[in-house]
Chain A
Amino acid sequence: MMTEKEEILEGLKDSVIEQDEDKARELAEKALDEDIAPFSAISDGLAKGMEVIGDKFDADELYLPQVMMSADAMEAAMEVLRPALQEGDGETKGTVVLGTVEGDIHSIGKDVVSSMIEGAGFRVIDIGKDKPPEEFVEKAKEEAADVIGASALMSTTRPEQENIIDELGDRDIKTIFGGAPVTEEFVNEIGGDAYAVDGSEARKEVEKLME
């Protein structure tokens, strides 16, 4: 027999898998009513659901929009849980500032990465597209971020990723880069900390960066 708390956590996990925003929101409220720690609701409930979704995505069993809908369900619950989190009841896994580099208006890849990382229980600050290096770094300082992630779709805008590293200087913030013309070799060359080919990889790499 599951305890009521276990049932709520299981329900949160299922709500993400079932892409059910309403259920996720309701159960998040119930979790708070039942004195489940928000951090536990996220990591033992929602994130477990996203894990299943991530594995299915990797195995080609899901379509990308289904993953986005699951991430939306997770976000619906997060909206309920987040205010409680800020009361010091626990912490998220870390904060990631994410954006598309200056001169580049391509944001779909970045949006997918954003959903995937958020789905893994990170706090994601998405600063949008066509953003200069200063804005990445300013925002990261402001939000005490652990990681900056920057996407570039064009070979002409890829050098902006290096500019972010320059702007960062010796601050203790990790970097992860991606985008069609970006390679692991390039990221090593410019001194970035991680490279990811897609959203699922990005989630894993950010988790590694936080270790």
Chain B
Amino acid sequence: MIEQNYRTDKMLNEEDLKQIHESSMDILENTGVEVPNEKIRDLFKENGAEVDGDRVCIPETLVEESIEKAPSEFTIYARNSDKNVDVGKDHAVLAPGYGPPYATDIDEGRREGTFEDYKNFAKLASWSDHIDVVGGIMVEPKDIPEKIRPQKMVLGAAEHSDQPVFGTPLNKEKAFDCIKLASMLHGKDLIDDKSVLITLVNTTSPLGWDKNALDALMEHAKYNQAVVIASLIMSGLTGPMTIAGTLTLQNVEVLSGIVLTQLINPGTPAVYGSASTIADMKKGNLTVGAPEYAKFIGATAQIADYYDLPSRAGGTITDSLLGDAQAGYESMMSSISSVYSGIDFVLHSIGLLENYMAMSYEKFMIDNEILGFIKNYQEGIEVNEDTIAKEVISDIGPGDNYMRHSHTMEHMQDFRKPELSIRESYEPDKEVPSTVERANEKWKKVLSEYDSPKLEEGIKEKMEDYINDI
């Protein structure tokens, strides 16, 4: 978690926001979105939307009423109540990378993810001082049958972390199982009065929804479990070739999902999410390391604020294929933009390489350092009589140095100590390992020393039994 004390939230001005809002309302009401689920279409219709075939046109009044019901902040409950997380306050809640099919490190190279990798990343995420929510597809454990993969991921995360759980709702059944398993962590059969997990549901751009995504969204709303509703539009491919147009299309799609959560169950925690960005128009590739993406992040925070909804965008992400300088500068830019612009929930905060394709052990450690830098910056400067040190300055006077002063002794440990960066001087005969090599050493050390927080007696067995019965 990183406090957001110094925000740069002026990517859009009031007139910009108004234009995007009004255009979105027009599109929602007159063009509508495609909803491939009859039950949901009926629900929309009962509440005043116009339905024609699969198309649902949502009037502005219904959008406004629904947004009113959605909470502007909420809590996700952890099995260890000290680790409960508030979303929507003046801090960024951070979650690890989500979705990569590959794991990679500099010893073994890039390979399909396994459950072993998954558990390792659960340990590393739990070890990190910055990550608040653990789970989701930190890496896809390909050695687990697809039928029980999301369920095993909840167990794998919960076994090694006592933080709130991130679910993987690939369809209705899997969404339900994840909710059920997260409830078991709290010693309950099925919790529906507070969020014990949060999950991600995406729209299908442009202006559509996938059947399974809708089912999962319904399941979450039914049990009052938090859900991030996000669009991943690629400007020029699945959205207009402009940032403003893509933001508008995104607004239409995400708001249609937010309205739906509130129609199913008013008060369901719903996060306004975005992973929209530009595509590289020469190759048609998704591009997350571009400066344009940082603008999407800032604008998304403002648009979500406009509706008084918690926001999700950004991460510590890069297009780079390896843990090099490009990975570093792009990740720092996306991470800074996410925190400084006031994004409430930052998925993909740690570990990812090559956009969302690979979870890297070394990048995990590098991102942890990046987050440490940003946290330190956001802590700001303490200004008071002691820190201004007027008397110390007079004591020392001109010409002398401050090294032996008691004030120096008192404060010399105040500054952040680097965990990965080096500040040594050059020596001709000394070999300096690269950042990635140091990160390699570091993750191995962390894993070898990590102690998983114990699960209460019997809970793991109960969860395993449930999964075995699927």
Contacts and interface: CB of A to CB of B under 8 A. Distances in A.
B238 interface: yes
Contacts of B390: none
Interface in A126-178: 155-156, 159
Interface stretch (B64-72, B87-95, B276-284): B276-284
Given A105-B204, A180-B357, A62 B101 contact: no
Contact of B282 (A60, A112, A155, A181): A60
A108 interface: yes
Nearest to A159: B146
A108 B146 contact: no
B281 A65 contact: yes
B199 to A, nearest CB: 15
B159 interface: no
B462 interface: no
A200 to B, nearest CB: 9
Interface string B211-250: 0000000000000000000000010111000000000000
Contact of A198 (B234, B236, B283, B357): B283
* Secondary structure class of chain B's binding surface, majority of residues: loop
A64 B282 contact: yes
Contact of B142 (A57, A62, A109, A155): A155
Contacts of A108: 234, 237-238, 284
A64 B101 contact: no
A63 B281 CA distance: 5
Contacts of B281: 63-65
Interface string A162-205: 00000000000000000011000000000000000010000000
Instruction: Name the interface size band of chain A.
Output: 10 to 19
Nearest to A68: B284
A155 B98 CA distance: 13
B140 interface: yes
Contacts of A180: 357
User: Chain A contact residues: over half helix, strand or loop, or mixed?
Assistant: loop
Contacts of B237: 108
A156 B147 CA distance: 10
A57 B281 CA distance: 11
B282 A63 contact: yes
A108 B286 CA distance: 12
Interface string A90-120: 0000000000000001001100100000000
A181 B113 CA distance: 12
Contacts of A198: 283-284
Interface in B155-182: 170
Contacts of B204: 105
Interface string B187-212: 00000000000000000100000100
Contacts of B142: 155
A107 to B, nearest CB: 10
A169 to B, nearest CB: 24
Contacts of A181: 101, 357
Contact of A65 (B146, B170, B236, B357): B236
A102 to B, nearest CB: 12
Interface string B259-299: 00000000000000000000001111000000000000000
A155 B140 contact: yes
Contacts of B282: 57, 60, 62-64
B247 to A, nearest CB: 20
B357 A156 contact: no
Nearest to B241: A65
B357 to A, nearest CB: 7
B283 A156 contact: no
A114 B435 CA distance: 43
Nearest to A64: B284
Nearest to A59: B282
Interface of B: 101, 140, 142, 146, 170, 204, 210, 234, 236-238, 281-284, 357
25 contacts: A57-B282, A60-B283, A62-B282, A63-B282, A64-B281, A64-B282, A64-B283, A64-B284, A65-B236, A65-B281, A108-B234, A108-B237, A108-B238, A109-B284, A112-B284, A155-B101, A155-B140, A155-B142, A156-B146, A156-B170, A159-B146, A180-B357, A181-B101, A181-B357, A198-B283
Given A63-B282, A112-B284, 14 more contacts: A57-B282, A60-B283, A62-B282, A64-B281, A64-B282, A64-B283, A105-B210, A109-B284, A155-B101, A155-B140, A156-B146, A159-B146, A181-B101, A198-B284
Closest 8 A/B residue pairs (Cβ): A155-B101, A181-B101, A64-B284, A63-B281, A155-B140, A60-B282, A108-B237, A64-B281
